[in-house]
Amino acid sequence: MLRHIFKLLFVLTIFGSCDDHPQVDLIIYNGKIYTVDSGFTVVNAMAVKDGKVFETGTLDHIRRTYRALKNIDLEGKAVYPGFNDAHSHFMGYANTLRWVNLVGAKSYDEAIKRCKDFQKKHGLTFVIGRGWDQNDWGMEGFPDKAKLDKMFPFLPVYLYRIDGHAALVNQATLNFAGIDTSTIINGGIIEKDTDGRLTGILVDNAMGLVDLPSLPNEDMLEALKEAEKNIFKAGLTTVTDAGLERSQIELIDSLQQAGKMKLRVYAMVSDKPYLQEYYLNHGPIKTDHLNVSSFKFYLDGALGSRGALMLKPYSDDSSKVGLQLSPYSHYVESAKKLKENGWQMCVHAIGDSANRLVLNVYEEVLEGKKDHRWRIEHAQIVAPEDVTRFGELGAIPSVQPTHATSDMYWAEDRLGWERMMEAYPYQSLLNSAGILPLGTDFPVEDIDPLRTFYSSVFRQDTAGFPQGGFTPKEVLSREDALRGMTIWPAYAAFEENEKGSLEVGKWADFVILDQDILTAPKPKIPDTKVLMTFVGGEKVFEVKKPSHN
């Protein structure tokens, strides 16, 4: 009891009201606050007013200068700028919360059972799922639709692969979409077996031949609410949504304007002619919570589905070099329009050939000007001679470290030893470009940014595989990994003057963790918990305290 009384007296002494002390809304103190400013300054107190950082410094200075409506004793805990996911699919993630979850299914039969159970529980007339990975099923190639047809002879079923670049569908879905053996698609694959029959596998552009039903509006709103809750629980305060329709952008904006969504979103507009026409004519959108000033393009597919565009054939399928999803002229012509209208270009490129082509586009169109902050999303397989071109052209590599630690189990099969040793070259790209914004690509990977941190710094799974790390020359320092989750994504979105670091005048978006990830022993980092998340000085998440009943 005496201990609690003394603590109360201490707090009152420090923060007792005094008329001549300016009032702020919040003071956090007695912790380790990483500002992530240019000097990587660490302080132990911060004052917040009107949603923004008012001052940072020592506890002694803050207590002598301000009084607060609310004070939080950090009790030695660590504070960081709110985590910022530089590449994700927020709207897509919300959808998956209402679809069959196939992540972690250990066999094709398990995946089908999950579909059947889900359909029975919800009475669906069209089953959509996501997350299967044939690499987890001991398969060298894709599954075919035979088992799906048997289980669902009349009900359409559409199952996204984990990477979102391939889908397995049944015959009912093919019939629904009017796809048959004569259907032709550019930039995609409608897979056939050796007898010329459709297998049910659709890759990249072929996936768009199926017009999937949308969630009812009420269900979508509930899904978005749940998605935002999960995002705040993970310590994220801003996400980049890489590829949205106008209706999706307007839904996000309306919810934010109504105060029903507090998450900050950097929205990339999808590469479609009608969207280019609309947004290039109407101009960017910028509010405190929404920034729409970029377009997202796809040059190739994904490595796992052998759609990533490679300079040389795949090591495990010499008949394939991947897919180029649109003609080279499309990217050049679009780039010129974006440059003329002041929009950012962001291009998905995974294979080494795809990365080279995007760099060629940027070199051709930007004509040596390096201040446009045009991005290459993923940059997973980059020829060594192209790595230096990122810095030379001012291209920003936007990468997802958990892709490396998810792919490392089978990457050598796809790439061969030599190409694999040069893959996911994060430190090399950082050395070239000077910054390296990090993301998760959720729901392709887990939403947790702390997994991003762990994969960046150690390039291992949590069991310690592989020993020494996956191509360990490309590990990032803990400090750079933190920058990649905070200030560098802000810079990549032209928002470094308003977020990404805890500096005076910037938004008070921050996260409190139960341990310091910059100093904690490696084995303890995966167990790190988010205690609180704040957006604009407002607490949007707090971990539930254990009951002592």
pLDDT digits (tens, 9 = 90+) for 159-176: 999 999 999 999 999 999
Contact (CB, 8 A) for 164 and 377: no
From the list 15, 4, 34, 21, the residue with the least C-alpha distance to 511 is 34
pTM higher than 0.85 for the full model?
A: yes
Instruction: Assign 256 to helix, strand or coil.
Output: helix
| Residue ranges of domains in the chain | 2-76, 99-209, 217-533
Residue indicated by tokens 């997994």: 451
Q: How many CA atoms lie within 13 A of 133 on its CB side?
A: 18
pLDDT for 414: 95
Model pLDDT, residue 138: 85
Q: What CATH number labels 99-209?
A: 3.10.310.70
* pLDDT band for position 21 (cuts 50, 70, 90): confident
| pLDDT value for 403 | 97
- pLDDT, one tens digit per residue, over 43-55 is 999 999 999 999 9
CATH of span 217-533: 3.20.20.140
Q: Which two tokens stand for residue 498?
A: 């308003």
CA distance 145 to 157: 10
Q: How far apart are CA 352 and CA 320, in angstroms?
A: 14
The percentage of the chain sitting over the pLDDT mark of 90, rounded to a whole number, equals: 93
pLDDT of residue 368: 87
Give 73's strand partners: 29
Percent of the chain clearing pLDDT 70 (strictly above): 96
Closest CA to 396 of 428, 363, 370, 373: 373
Helix H or strand E encompassing 115: helix 108-122
The residues facing 48 across adjacent strands are 26, 53
User: Is the model's pLDDT at 353 over the cut of 50?
Assistant: yes
DSSP string, 35-81: ---TT--EEEEEEEETTEEEEEE-HHHHHHH-EEEEEEE-TT-EEEE
The distance of Cα 329 from the centroid of its chain, to the nearest Å, equals 28
Which own/partner contact pairs does 468-474 have at CB distance under 8 Å and 24+ positions apart?
470/404, 470/405, 470/408, 470/424, 471/404, 471/420, 471/421, 471/423, 471/424, 471/425, 473/427, 474/424, 474/425, 474/426, 474/427, 474/428
Q: Please tell me the total number of residues recorded for the chain in this structure.
A: 549
What are 488-505's pLDDT values in tens digits?
999 999 999 999 999 999
Distance of CA 371 to the CA centre of its chain: 24
Q: What mean pLDDT do residues 323-342 have? A: 97
Amino acid 546: pLDDT: 67
**Contact of 419 with 411, CB cutoff 8 Å:** no
pLDDT number for residue 548: 54
What is the pLDDT, as a whole number, of residue 547? 59
Q: What is the mean pLDDT of residues 86-110?
A: 96
pLDDT interval class at 17 (50, 70, 90):
very low
Q: Where is 274: in which H helix or E strand?
A: helix 273-282
Q: What is the pLDDT of residue 5?
A: 47
Q: At what angle do helices 246-257 and 217-233 cross, to 10 degrees?
A: 70
pLDDT exceeds cutoff 90 at 140: no
Q: What is the mean pLDDT of the chain?
A: 94
Residue partners of 152: CB distance under 8 A and separation at least 6: 115, 116, 119, 127, 170, 172
> What is residue 207's three-state secondary structure?
helix
Give me the pLDDT at residue 549, please: 52
Phi-psi region of 287 (alpha: psi -120 to 50; beta: other; left: phi over 0): beta
Rounded Cα–Cα distance for residues 377 and 493 (Å): 13
Measured CA to CA, the distance from residue 241 to residue 177 in angstroms comes to: 28
Cα separation values, 149 from 152, 206, 225, 467, Å: 5, 20, 35, 43
Which residue(s) pair with 132 in the sheet? 161
Q: Is the Cβ–Cβ distance between 46 and 62 less than 8 Å?
A: yes
Q: Do domains 99-209 and 217-533 have the same CATH topology?
A: no
pLDDT of the residue at 63: 85
Task: Give 364-406 pLDDT, tens digit per residue.
Answer: 999 988 889 999 999 999 999 999 999 999 999 999 999 999 9
Q: Is the pLDDT of residue 6 over 50?
A: no
Q: Where are the beta strands (DSSP E) in 450-506?
A: none
Pick the CATH number of 2-76 from 3.40.30.10, 2.30.40.10, 2.60.40.10, 1.10.510.10: 2.30.40.10
Q: How confident is the model at residue 10 (pLDDT cuts 50, 70, 90)?
A: very low
